[in-house]
Amino acid sequence: MSAILVVDDDPNLSKALRITLKAQGHDVRTAADGRSGLLVASQEPLSLLILDLGLPDIDGTTVIRELRGWSRVPILVLSARHSSDDKVDALDAGADDYITKPFGLEELLARVRALLRRGADPEQEPVITTEAFTVDLDKRRVLKAGQDVRLTPTEWNILELLVRNPEKLITQQQLLTEVWGAAYTREANYLRVYMAQLRRKLETDPGNPRHLLTETGIGYRFQP
């Protein structure tokens, strides 16, 4: 049974999430503000935190930053804020995924399942296999249809970061900082060029990618 904490000041939404998640077999706790949520998280082992950004006492992004000082529990952000900046701030603070209100329960449950899978098995297997290609992280080797795919060092670094975080949304800033350095966080055109190259080399249909996905204006996601 997974222990899930929902931190949201909307009592109706908290109740609906508690009922829905309990029906899926989860142990669910709720908190109505950020400080209460941090207190619960510090006292009980959690499998997942579902967090609203617009809390009455402290901003949800502050909760994420404080929590990340001592916990790696997966965090799914819920928010009525639709701007890319808010999403990027939350993800850069340490959130694992983001869903915008209003949302469908099936989409929410799918995100929950993905985060719980990753949390249950944090050590990524050295070989990642998709229907189109295989990545051997240990040997730094990529195969497509049984043939080696030659990647540049930059292409490899981007691909490695994505496949080590399956289904997680990686922001443009994170990728640019990790691959090129902190001075390049505004060079989103670099990413567009290299992602296009990776898709041409790896995807079955580069124009309609199945595994290397774009979240417009925010970042990229690897879908196994």
What parts of the chain have a pLDDT lower than 70?
Answer: 82, 119-125
pTM over 0.75: no
pLDDT at 92: 85
Q: Can the peptide bond before residue 102 be classed as cis, meaning omega within 30 degrees of 0?
A: yes
pLDDT at 194: 94
pLDDT at 8: 96
Q: Which domains does the chain have, with CATH numbers?
A: 3-120 (3.40.50.2300), 127-222 (1.10.10.10)
Distance of CA 130 to the CA centre of its chain: 19
Q: Are 34 and 8 in contact (CB under 8 A)?
A: no
pLDDT at 14: 95
**Amino acid type, 13:** L
The first and second tokens of residue 5, run together, are 């904490």
pLDDT digits (tens, 9 = 90+) for 54-81: 999 999 999 999 988 888 889 999 988 7
pLDDT at 43: 82
pLDDT at 121: 53
pLDDT at 120: 60
Residue 213: enclosing H or E segment and its boundaries? strand 212-215
- In sign, the C-alpha dihedral spanning 211, 216, 220, 223 is negative
